[in-house]
Amino acid sequence: MMQSTPKQPARRGRIFPERTLSPEELARCKAEDEAFDRRCWAIFERVRPDLIQEHYGWYVGVEPDSGDYFIDADRMQAHKKVLEKYPNKDHFVYCLNETGTTGRI
């Protein structure tokens, strides 16, 4: 039986080691993400009781810097409504239900 030899040597480690983030940078990014999530969730919690009775199962797109929110029956349309008004801002989309989750686990 003949063994074939690989044409390229096996790579070990990261493909782009220069793009590796330090633990401090990772912690900073995680803290920023958690702060953003808390700001969005606070707005969603404020408007959910008013909207859940008439629009159960609809979606709410939240832009936390302005405090604006946009609702639609379709998740992508709620997302697009936020992007139309705030094209360069981060936002979050929640479902009007008991948990705020938008998909399946």
pLDDT (tens digit per residue) in 22-77? 889 999 999 999 999 999 999 999 999 989 889 999 999 999 999 999 999 999 99
Tell me which of 68 and 105 has the higher pLDDT: 68
> Which strands make up the sheet holding 59-63, listed edge to edge?
68-72, 59-63, 92-95
User: Measured between alpha carbons, how far is 97 from 17 in angstroms, rounded to an integer?
Assistant: 43
Hey, CA dihedral for 9, 13, 14, 20, is it positive or negative? negative
pLDDT confidence tier of residue 6, bands split at 50, 70 and 90: low
100 φ/ψ sector (left φ>0, alpha ψ -120 to 50, else beta): left
Give pTM, 2 decimals: 0.74
The average pLDDT across 91-103 equals 85
User: Measured between alpha carbons, how far is 90 from 35 in angstroms, rounded to an integer?
Assistant: 13
Confidence check: pLDDT of 10 > 70: no
The average pLDDT across 78-104 equals 88
Q: What are the distances in angstroms from CA 10 to CA 5, 6, 82, 93? A: 11, 8, 46, 43
